[in-house]
Amino acid sequence: MLDIPKDFIDSCTSLRELILAGSALKRIPINVRHASGLRWLDLSSNRIHKLDDAALDMLPSLAILRLQNNRIETLPAYFGRMTRLERLNISNNKLDKLPDVVAEMTSIVDLDISFNTITVFPPQILALTMLETLVVVGNSLKEFPQDCSSLGALRSLDCRRNGLTDLTPVSRLPKLAELLAEDNQVPALDLTLGPELRTLEVGKNDITRLVLLQGPQEAPTAFSLMSLDVSNAKLSALDDAVFGQLTSLTHLKLDNNQFRSVPASFGKLTQLVSLSFTDNQVDVLPDSICELQRLERLNVRNNNLSEIPAALWKCASLSWLNATSNVIHSFALPPTIPRPDDLADDEPNPYPPLALSLANLYLGDNHLTDDVCYSLVAFQRLRLLNLSLNDLTTLQGWTQGEFASIEELYLSGNAITALPDDIHLLFPKLTTLYLNANKLQSLPVDMDQLSALTTLDVGSNQLKYNINNFQFEWNWCVLFLDPALPRALADPRHAGTTILSYGTLTLLATAGSRSSATMLRTSRTSHLRRPLNRPPLRTRHDHNGCLSLSTICPNSRDSRTCEYSV
């Protein structure tokens, strides 16, 4: 049992914070009561079940008391005399109801009673008129009192993981700015909220509709909501009238519902910065999306979209777009772009807004063909491009200079048969290249000119090897050796020399893991002892192979162990 000598406490005249968390205490050390200047006391994660003998009311300056993760079943009566206590955390204890003494602790501004077994909203909380933050996560509350007006100072309420069916009594509190109510049983959501509410998270409820009801006559209807999350619900349709009035929204998340269309009123949400409605059944983006001039992130993954519309080219701030796992077969062409040589110095920039803002584009698992390159050439600042699991067969139509900004390129799971000979000129900044599960038979000899390349995956292809043409076929560098072959491959025309050279790609690093057998790397032997730092790109193909190859690199005195895949 930990104890603290009184003479030590007396000598600590400036002691303001005392942390005794995780000390396996069954009781509070008796001399703690003598630390009269203490403002913060942390007794969390112990085995305390009673506080009666602790005499914490003898700490006149105590403002913060953390008692979570103990075995407390009640609070002693002297807690009512702790008139300066502002923050109390008694979460994860053995409370099946809130002790009556809490009603006397009127100085409390922050109360956390999460993860107890409380089934009825404690009426004692209604007496805490200075309360600003209330956390009741993980209890079994069914409803709020109809009259919560005494909680006029409340600014943040976290009531996730309960059994609540109606949020109306608390959602209109005059100063409430944040309401977190995920994982309850709310069937419908009234969005006529309090005048200060900025954040509302109600995901993982059985919400089937969103409604706007007229507020009280004395309070003007105000829609100041900035962040709304109604993901993982049961919305089958989005009301045009509802979203047309939430014009202050900056973040909107509607993932994993059941709606098929996006209302045109979304164009009125001109303050939106982030919009996500993944895992729905939307088949078209409205033309009004071009009105979202502040939109930076758009996530429409796993819907039924068949086209990236022309209206999207007008989104001037969009830098991140994820349209993976749709049925997209076309990407609308941008407006006509003149050649730079044809422009006068005083002419305005001819590129559409999206071409100058988009940096990350995810279009994997769709039905795009080689024609997509005619849309992609417009992007001037694209850094990451994912076209995996589409219907591409070649990159021959991709022209130099148009993709100079790309650093990461994912082309796995297509039907690409050949790469451009000038790939190093096409992607001069390329650091990551995934080409696994295609139909490549050879790699361009100038692949070694991709000087910034750090990750390369060419597994599950059809690479062929001609021993007499090795100096012109870079795929010798990713040869899959049979275990029966020698561990160093010799040049049959020059005895005592090897034919494999990897020294030019000094940055080539890991891509995969030993367990997945999908990797290609050229690292020193000592580096191979480190855990691999990134998983392989999963594809619909699973016939991958991996082997270690030890070779002497030209112009180097040290031996390197390399692992390659095809």
Q: Tell me the CATH number at 116.
A: 3.80.10.10
What is the phi/psi pair of residue 472, to 5°? -110, 0
pLDDT of residue 422: 87
Residue 390 identity (one-letter amino acid) = N
pLDDT digit string, tens, across residues 507-518: 443 333 333 333
As beta bridge partners, residue 200 has 179, 228
Task: Identify the burial level of 447 via C-beta atoms within 10 angstroms of its C-beta, where 0-12 means exposed, 13-18 middle and 19 or more buried.
Answer: buried
Average pLDDT over residues 281-289: 96
Task: Identify the burial level of 533 via C-beta atoms within 10 angstroms of its C-beta, where 0-12 means exposed, 13-18 middle and 19 or more buried.
Answer: exposed
Q: Give the pLDDT band (50/70/90) at residue 447.
A: confident
pLDDT of residue 346: 53
Look at residues 200, 197, 192, 152 and name the one whose alpha carbon lies nearest to residue 177.
197
Report the range of poorest mean pLDDT among 3-7, 344-348, 451-455.
Answer: 344-348
pTM of the prediction? 0.81
Residue 222 has pLDDT above 70, yes or no: no
What is the C-alpha separation between 17 and 13, in angstroms, rounded?
A: 12
The range of the structural domain enclosing residue 57 comes to 1-131
Report the range of poorest mean pLDDT among 147-156, 336-345, 361-370.
Answer: 336-345
Domain count across the chain? 1
Tokens 């392989």, residue located: 536
In a domain, 501, yes or no: no
Q: Give the pLDDT band (50/70/90) at residue 249.
A: very high
In a domain, 351, yes or no: no
In a domain, 525, yes or no: no
- Return the ∠ at Cα 308 (arms to 306 and 314), rounded to 5°: 155
CA 178 vs CA 170, 174, 227: distances in Å: 11, 12, 9
In a domain, 78, yes or no: yes
As beta bridge partners, residue 180 has 158, 201
In a domain, 118, yes or no: yes
Contact 246, 263 (CB under 8 A): no
pLDDT digit string, tens, across residues 100-146: 999 999 999 999 999 999 999 999 999 999 999 999 999 999 999 99
| CB proximity list for 32: less than 8 A, separation 6 or greater | 4, 9, 18, 38, 41, 54, 56, 59
Instruction: Please name the residue ranges forming H helices in 247-305.
Output: none
Torsion over CA: 390, 393, 397, 402 (sign): positive
In a domain, 329, yes or no: no
Report the range of poorest mean pLDDT among 48-52, 155-159, 213-217.
Answer: 213-217
Average pLDDT value over all residues in the chain: 82
Q: Give the pLDDT band (50/70/90) at residue 464.
A: confident
How many CB atoms within 10 Å of residue 529? 7
In a domain, 113, yes or no: yes
Q: Is 37 helix (H, G, I), strand (E, B) or coil?
A: coil
In a domain, 85, yes or no: yes
Q: Give the pLDDT band (50/70/90) at residue 525.
A: very low
What is the C-alpha separation between 413 and 390, in angstroms, rounded?
A: 7
Most confident of 167-176, 294-303, 389-398, 427-436: 294-303
